[in-house]
Amino acid sequence: MSHFFEQPITRTIEENYMPYTMSVIVARAIPEIDGFKPAHRKLLYTMYKMGLLSGNRTKSANVVGQTMRLNPHGDAAIYETMVRMSRGNETLLHPFVDSKGNFGKCTSRDTQYAAPRYTEVKLDAIAAELFVDIDRDTVDFVDNYDSTMKEPTLFPVTFPNILVNPNQGVAVGMATNICSFNLAEVCATTVELIKNPDHNLFLTLSAPDFSTGGQLIYNQKALETIYQTGLGSFKLRARYRYDKKNHCLEIFEIPYNTTIEGIMDKIVDLIRDGKLREITALRDETDINGLKLTLDLKRGVDAEKLMQKLFRMTPLENSFSCNFNLLLGCTPHVLGVREILNEWVAFRTECIRRGTYFDIQKKKETLHLLRGLQKILLDIDEAIRIIRQTEEAVDVGPNLMIGFAIAQVQAEFVAEIKLRNLNREYILNKTKETGDLEREIADLEDLVDKPKRIHKKIIAQLQTIAKKYGKPRKTQLLYPEEIVPYEETSEAEDYPVHFFVTRAGYFKKITPLSLRMSGDQKLKEGDELFQFLEGSNSSELLFFTDRQQVYKLRASEFEDTKASVLGEYVPQKLGFKDGEQLILTVAVREYVGHLLFFFANGKCAKVPLASYETKQNRKKLINAYSATAPLVGAFYVREDCEFLVASSNGRYVLFETRLLAEKTTRTTGGVSVLTLKGQNVLVRAEPYASGTFVRPEGYRVKNIPAAGCFLKEADRPVEQK
C-alpha cells in the first residue's frame, strides 16, 4: 500500500532541485578565473600527468580513458571536450591540444570528427603556461570523485586565459558567453592596468578577436558597454572576394558561431522563395587550403550590392551576444573587462605568493638541517663515537639529539650521511650554503610582503608570453563609414528592348513587339536619329556629354514608349547644364569593351569601359574624358575593329584599334593616330564600313601615327565627280 506525504513545493525544490542547480552552476557550466570549466581542467591535467607536454602524441582513446579517473561523465563527453580544444577543430585562438587526424571544424555542422581510436594528441606548447609551478602549492588540490587521487581546483595560468579563449555555457537560470580577445592585446592591456588602474582599455584592447576571422563592425559605444558591464552585443561579418573572371563570389571567412551549412541552407531557402534571384549556383569548395563557399552570379549582377543583401538576409552577418559570467569563490559574477583583469591579477598574485611561500618553507627546512650539521662540525669524533656505541639503529637519532642538542629531523639527517662523508671537508662544503640560503629566504620573504615586486614578475611573464605566443589579429575591424548601406530596391522585370537616341537629345525605349507594330519614328522638326542600340530593361545607360561628363541611369527608369511619340528629353531628365549636349549613349549589362575618344589634335584615347563602373549607385561622373583638345568623336566598341580617320587637308588613315595602347585613366590625352602638319587637324572619325573604299588597302596602315593618303578618284563620292 502506497503512502503519500504532504510537503510544501518550496521544500521539494530546495531539497531536490537546488543541489542539482548548484552543481550545474559551480561544477559544470560556468568557467572560473583561470578560464576553464571543470571538464576542461580534468582533461588537461590528465594529459599533463601523462607527460604529454613533450614527446610524441598518443592515441586520443588513451587520454579519454585516463581522464575518466577524474571525470565520471563518460568517454563521449570527454572526447567532445578534447575536440573543441584541439588545433584541428579551430575553435580556439590558441588551442591547448596539438592534434593529428580529423577533429572536424567549428565552421562546419556536418563534418564529423573521427573516433578517438584513430586520432592522436599531445599538449600544445602554450599549455605549459597552465601548469607553471602547479607542484609548488600555488593552487588548491582536492580529491577526485572516488578519493583515489588529487586534482587541482584551478590552474595557475600565467596569462588571462579567461579573455583569450572563448567560453560558452548554459547553467540553470543563468548562462555565460565570453568572447575571445587577441593574446598580445590582452597581455599588453593587463600590463598597463597593473601600472595604471585608470588605463583606457581601448588604447591596447581594440576589440574581440575570433579564430574564424571575419570582420567585426566597430561600434565604440557598444564595445564600451561590454567593456564596462560584461553585457552587450556586436556584429560580425563574413569576408569575401569577387572573382571577376568567373563572375562569382568566394566567401572564405565566416562569423564565429555560424556554419557554412547553415549559411547555404538559408541561401537555398531564399532562392526557393524567390527572394534571391541573382545566384545561379552555390558550392562548398572547402578543402585543405581552408574554407570557401562559392556563389555563381547571373550576368550583370552587381557583386557588391548582392553581398550587402546577403549580409542583411543570411547568417553571413550575425550578432555575438556577450555575457561575461564567471565564478569567483564558487559565486557567479558578471564582470566587465577591467574587473575581470583586476580579478585575474589578484588571483595570479596569490599564486605567486603561495609558490614563494612554498619555496621559503623548503629553504627553511634545508637551512634547519644544515644548522644541525654545523653543530656536528664542532666535534665530528664525538658524533662518530655516539653512532658507534649505540647498540640499536633506532637509537642513533635520539642519542645524537641528546649529545648535540639538535632536533629530531636534524639528527636523522646527520645519521643518514654516509660514513665516507663524515669528514670536515664535506661538512664545511655543505654548511657554506647556509649563508646563501639565509639571503635567499630573506629575499623571498621580501617578495611575499611587497605586491609591487610580485606585479613586476607578472608583467615580465606577460611580456614574455605575448612575444612568444602572440599572433596578429584574425578578425578585421570594419568601421561604419566603410559600410555601403543596403537599399531595398524592387527588381525591375528584364526583357529585350531597343533604344533610339536623336541628335536633339530625345530618348525612346521600345519593345521589339511594339516596334514591329509601329510606323515611322516621330521626330521633332529638324531632328534626326543619332543612335540605335539593342539591350534589355536591366541595361545600364551611360550618357556622355560635351562637358566631359557622363550620366548613368538604368533603362528600367525610362518608361516603355512607342515610335509615334517624341520620347523623353534626356537633358531635362538628367539635369544637364545650360548648353550641355549629348554626344554618345552606351547601353551595357557588363562593363566590357572600350571607349574611343578622337581629338582634333590627331590623338585617340582608348579607355576601358570598366573605368566607368562604380560600386555605389552614382548618377554622375565628372572628368569622363580629356579636355586638353576639342573632341571630334566618341565611340563604344566591344571588340577591336577598323576605324577611318581624316585630316582637314584631306588625308585618310585606316587602322585597327588594337594598335591603340589602352589607358586606364579616363582623362588620358591618348596616343597619336594622325601625323598633322601646320594648322591641319583631325576632322572625321568613324568605324570603317566594308565597301566604303574600292581599294581600302591604299589607306590601311600597320603602325600609328601615320600621315595618311589623299582620297583617290575612284573613292570620291559620285556627286563630286
Tens-place pLDDT, residues 286-314: 988 889 999 999 887 888 889 999 999 99
Domain limits, CATH 3.90.199.10, in the chain? 36-156
- Is residue 174 predicted with pLDDT exceeding 60? yes
Mean per-residue pLDDT for 83-111?
A: 94
Q: Which helix (H) or strand (E) holds 682?
A: strand 682-687
Look at residue 721 in the predicted model and tell me its pLDDT. 36
What's the pLDDT score for residue 491? 59
Find the mean pLDDT for residues 599-625: 87
pLDDT of residue 407: 85
pLDDT tens digits along 637-672: 999 999 999 999 989 999 999 999 998 889 999 999
Q: Which three cell numbers stand for residue 655?
A: 587602322
Stretch 681-693: mean pLDDT, rounded? 90
Residue 487 has pLDDT above 80, yes or no: no
Q: Are strands 239-243 and 325-328 parallel, antiparallel or unpaired?
A: unpaired
Task: With H, G, I as helix, E, B as strand and everything else as coil, classify residue 160.
Answer: coil
The model's pLDDT over 111-122, given as tens digits with 9 standing for 90+, comes to: 899 999 999 999
Q: CATH 2.120.10.90 spans which residues of the chain?
A: 590-721
Task: Dig out the grid coordinates for 534 from the structure.
Answer: 539593342
Cα distances (angstroms) measured from residue 226 to each of 201, 339, 592 = 12, 12, 48
* pLDDT mean over 374-383: 77
Pairwise CA distance, residues 699 & 334, whole Å = 85
pLDDT band at 31 (very low <50, low <70, confident <90, very high): very high
Query: pLDDT category, 382, cuts 50, 70, 90?
Result: confident
Indicate the CATH number of 590-721 among 2.120.10.90, 3.90.226.10, 2.30.110.10, 2.60.40.420. 2.120.10.90
User: Of all helices (H) and strands (E), which one includes residue 469?
Assistant: helix 451-469
Q: CB-side exposure of 661: number of CA atoms within 13 Å? A: 11
Residues of the chain with CATH 1.10.268.10: 353-469
- Set of cell numbers at residue 191: 600590463
The residue-averaged pLDDT of 24-46 equals 88
Task: State the average pLDDT over residues 202-212.
Answer: 95
Evaluate whether 210 touches 181 at the Cβ level (below 8 Å): no
- Gap between the Cα atoms of 376 and 5, Å rounded: 76
Residue 718, pLDDT > 60, answer no
d(CA 708, CA 704): 10
**CA–CA separation, 353 vs 355, rounded Å?**
5
pLDDT of amino acid 21? 74
Residue 256 bears catalytic tag: no
Q: For the residues 118-139, what does the mean pLDDT come to?
A: 95
Cell 566597430, located at residue: 218
Query: What are residue 705's phi and psi, to 5 degrees?
Result: -75, 160
Q: What would the grid cell of residue 383 be?
A: 658524533
Identify each DSSP E strand in 648-681 by its residue range: 651-656, 671-672
Amino acid type, 457 = K
Q: Sort strands 476-478 and 215-217 into parallel, antiparallel or unpaired.
A: parallel
Residue 490: which pLDDT band, with cuts at 50, 70 and 90?
Answer: low
Instruction: Say if residues 450 and 458 touch (Cβ distance below 8 Å).
Output: no
Q: Residue 720 above 50 pLDDT?
A: no
Residues near 553 by Cβ (< 8 Å), separated by ≥ 6?
A: 540, 541, 543, 573, 574, 619
C-alpha distance from residue 399 to each of 370, 373, 382, 424 (Å): 18, 15, 11, 21
CA atoms within 13 Å, Cβ hemisphere of 515 = 13
Read off the C-alpha cell for 460: 615580465
Q: How confident is the model at residue 1 (pLDDT cuts 50, 70, 90)?
A: low
Report the percentage of the chain scoring pLDDT > 90.
Answer: 58
Residue 630, pLDDT > 90, answer yes
Q: What is the pLDDT of residue 615?
A: 64
For the chain, the maximum distance between any two Cα atoms, rounded to a whole number of angstroms, is: 151
The pLDDT score that the predictor gives to residue 244 is 87
Sequence-separated (6 or more) residues with CB below 8 Å from residue 353: 448, 454
Which of 215-219, 516-520, 657-661 shows the lowest per-residue confidence on average (mean pLDDT)?
516-520
* CA-closest candidate to residue 139, choices 148, 147, 130: 130
CB 649 within 8 A of CB 643: no
Homologous superfamily of the 36-156 domain (CATH) = Topoisomerase II, domain 5 (3.90.199.10)
Q: How confident is the model at residue 272 (pLDDT cuts 50, 70, 90)?
A: confident
- CA-CA-CA-CA torsion for 447, 452, 456, 461, nearest 10 degrees? 80
Phi, psi (degrees; rounded to nearest 5) at 573? -65, -35
Q: Which of 118, 145, 479, 495 is catalytic?
A: 118
- Residues in CB range of 655: below 8 A, 6 or more apart: 642, 643, 645, 673, 700, 701, 704, 706
Q: What is the pLDDT of residues 222-263, one digit of tens each?
A: 999 999 999 999 999 999 999 988 889 999 999 998 999 999
pLDDT tens, residue by residue, 632-644: 999 999 999 999 9
Q: Any residues with CB less than 8 A from the CB of 2 and at least 6 apart, and which?
A: none
Three-state SS for 164-188 is HCCEEEECCCCEEEECCCCHHHHHH
Annotate 686-707 with DSSP letters as a single string.
EEPPTTSSSSGGGTB-SSSSB-
The one-letter amino acid code at 431 reads T
Q: Mean pLDDT over all residues of the chain?
A: 89
Average pLDDT over residues 356-370: 90
pLDDT tens column, 534-552? 988 888 899 999 999 999 9
The CATH code of domain 353-469 reads 1.10.268.10
With 90 as the cut, is the pLDDT of residue 595 above it? yes
Mean pLDDT for the stretch of residues 63-84: 92
% of the chain surpassing 70 pLDDT? 96
Question: Where, residue-wise, is CATH 3.30.1360.40 in the chain?
Answer: 239-315
Mean of pLDDT values over 169-178: 86
Quick one: angle between helices 433-449 and 424-431, nearest 10?
A: 20
Fold exhibited by the domain 239-315 = Gyrase A; domain 2 (3.30.1360)
**8-22, 91-105, 502-516: the lowest-pLDDT one:** 8-22
Q: How confident is the model at residue 48 (pLDDT cuts 50, 70, 90)?
A: very high
